[in-house]
Amino acid sequence: GNSVTQMEGPVTLSEEAFLTINCTYTATGYPSLFWYVQYPGEGLQLLLKATKADDKGSNKGFEATYRKETTSFHLEKGSVQVSDSAVYFCAADPMDSNYQLIWGAGTKLIIKP
Amino acid sequence: EPEVTQTPSHQVTQMGQEVILRCVPISNHLYFYWYRQILGQKVEFLVSFYNNEISEKSEIFDDQFSVERPDGSNFTLKIRSTKLEDSAMYFCASRGTSGGSTDTQYFGPGTRLTVL
């Protein structure tokens, strides 16, 4: 079946450190891929997306590249800030479902000043 | 920028009571969804809705749950007899007119349901 696997958290980094949060997916066909962010006490916000192989999504300094060969969509940021502290969810939209999103478990990111 | 809204932001209810969670999707969207997130856990799909009917539902969405689009703008989730395990954050989402997988689902801020 379809699934999304994310690295477990929490991930704790110092400000200005490099961030990678791993995400891999299992799906039939070529799903669209998304990263959503949930700040403390808030809802889900779309961070970035990619809809086909080799596409790179980017927003607010975050990037993720759709890698078909490794079925991955790792989230990266070159220099994190305290304000990036949140839970990050990787999600996939498989072509064979009624466009419901398949979610990873979420990775809590803690940035220390 | 258009956004999905949800009311109330927090609902507290007694076990066995009925609750209705309300959502106003983005106005020109045609596909609507409910998800839930139990505290500290992953987001789970409940139901999708298109053309005034349920198009897909998960195992969680049993006979105690129902959805409705009563007036062309609101999209509601009803839980007939709440259980303790229904306590969660409930998110509404909507997506664009074409329905293709390239469309993004836009989420509301969520309703936190607490069942006592």
Q: pLDDT for B8-65, tens place per residue?
A: 999 999 999 999 999 999 988 888 999 999 988 889 999 999 888 998 899 999 999 9
The candidate with the shortest Cα–Cα distance to A84, out of A34, A17, A22, is A17
Shortest Cα–Cα distance, B82 to chain A (Å):
23
Q: For an interface test with A, which of B43, B50, B98, B107 has the most A Cβ atoms less than 10 Å from its Cβ?
A: B43
Instruction: Say if residues A62 and A75 touch (Cβ distance below 8 Å).
Output: yes
Distance CA A82, CA A75 (A): 17
Q: What is the pLDDT along chain A (113 residues), one digit of tens a residue?
A: 788 999 888 999 999 999 999 999 998 778 889 999 999 878 889 999 998 899 999 999 999 999 999 999 999 999 999 999 999 999 998 766 566 788 999 999 999 99
pLDDT of residue A95: 65
pLDDT of residue A29: 78
Query: Cβ atoms within 10 A of the Cβ of B65, count?
Result: 17
Look-up of token digits 């997916």: A25
Q: A100 vs B56: CB contact, 8 Å cut-off?
A: yes
Distance CA B40, CA B30 (A): 30
